[in-house]
Amino acid sequence: MIYPLHLDLVGRRVLVVGGGAVAARRARAAAEAGALVELVALETDLTEFPLQRRAFRPEDVDGAWLVLACTGAVDAEVAAACEQRRIWCVRADDAVASAAWVPAVARVDDVVVSVTAGGDPRRAVALRDAVSLAMDTGSLPLRRSRTGEGSVVLVGGGPGDPGLLTVRARQLLAEADVVVRDRLAPQVDLPEDVELVEVGKTPGGPSYDQRAIEALLVDRAQQGKRVVRLKGGDVHVFGRGAEEVAACVAAGVPVEVVPGLSSAFSVPAWAGIPVTERGVTQSVAVVSAHLPPGHPGSTVDWEALARLGGTLVLLMSVGRLTAVAQALVAAGRGPETPVAVVQDGTLATQTVAYATLATAAELDLKPPAVVVIGEVAVPR
């Protein structure tokens, strides 16, 4: 049975005996921790530490707080000298015989995890890497103690599959006190003590008022809570992230934005449709079709898009695809131009339907759907 312990080596003498690769690695790690490193070695290329270029002598360990024996030849002799003087010594040659061990270490921010595995360094490194990955991705939560100041982070959650969340997004979700989630944002598992507020907007149905969402973000942050505003796709692609940022700034609440994968590109890619392709198209335009052509509130120049050619990606187009197709054909886009519609993109319920501008009206669409128009929108 071993007793795990972390050491504060700042300003303390650490002796490294040996001059090879292991000695170099451990000497530099000790120096990074603030130790005053000294070296005893017959041969070495290390020049950044005080060096005695000779054979080891037992009295070398006198005054050291820690000794790292890395010779592969006289480590037992070094350890015996340390044992006699009650100085901790780590033997690189024999973990079983050593009185102390250098663990495999994972660091994320101010969290340090040390791993030993019965003297098996390969196993320890494998475990360390797994723990490090879990901390990086938020699978192991690193929730900090509250500092008293709340904050808001607008997080782009990607197209729907939780596996497409960014590493930064997962870290923030693991640290959140409150998650304010859009309807199309990924479903994520949260600790029981995290407040989850669903603020989804349903096309043609009930919708959470935008000003109410902004007030909610500000209120929870002013209570000293860490708020994650989890949105579908990317924060600033046809979302209202800018308004939420402005509301936080106006209230004096710290706010940041973490981008996510936009469904305009990620959903077609997941469905096997490249929005650009060498020799096929050199341009792509992304358009919100939440208002149909001819609507007085629409600012989209459909005639210009028809002349542009290339790939056209429509978001929020359910219920308006027929009108869009007719406007494009009327402006000169060929009626046989391929159309692909990806519904529930990246989810287990994803479906892909193909048509042309001439037959697009025959498609039965349900939200959420991403529409791709152009020569790339063909079955592969």
Distance of CA 312 to the CA centre of its chain: 29
Looking at residue 141, its pLDDT comes to 65
User: Is 7 a residue whose pLDDT tops 90?
Assistant: yes
Tens digit of each residue's pLDDT (9 = 90 or more) over 192-222 = 899 999 998 766 656 789 999 999 999 999 9
User: Is 1 a residue whose pLDDT tops 80?
Assistant: no
Looking at residue 143, its pLDDT comes to 63
Q: Which of the four pLDDT bands, split at 50, 70 and 90, describes residue 252? A: very high
Is the preceding peptide bond at 206 cis, omega within 30 degrees of 0?
no
User: Is 161 a residue whose pLDDT tops 90?
Assistant: yes
Looking at residue 203, its pLDDT comes to 61
Question: Is 182 a known active-site residue?
Answer: yes
Looking at residue 2, its pLDDT comes to 83
Domains and their CATH numbers in the chain: 1-102 (3.40.50.720), 106-140 (no CATH), 151-261 (3.40.1010.10), 264-373 (3.30.950.10)
User: Is 174 a residue whose pLDDT tops 90?
Assistant: no
- When the pLDDT of each residue in the chain is averaged and rounded to a whole number, the result is 93
Cα distance between residue 112 and residue 72, in whole Å: 29
- Which residue do the tokens 């936009």 mark? 262
Q: CA–CA distance from 168 to each of 135, 153, 357 (Å)?
A: 11, 11, 40
Element (H, E) at 131: helix 121-137
Rg (CA), the chain: 30
Looking at residue 135, its pLDDT comes to 77
Question: Is 177 a known active-site residue?
Answer: no
Lowest mean pLDDT among 70-79, 145-154, 314-323, 337-346: 145-154
User: Is 145 a residue whose pLDDT tops 60?
Assistant: no
- Which residue do the tokens 């003297």 mark? 119
Looking at residue 204, its pLDDT comes to 60
Cβ atoms < 10 Å from Cβ of 376: 20
Buried-state track 144-178, b at ≥16 Cβ within 10 A, e below 16: eeeeeebbbbbbbbbbbbbebbbebbbbbbbbbbb
Residue, of 108 and 160, whose pLDDT is higher: 160
User: Exactly one of 93, 161, 177, 182 is catalytic; which is it?
Assistant: 182
Mean pLDDT of 286-312: 95
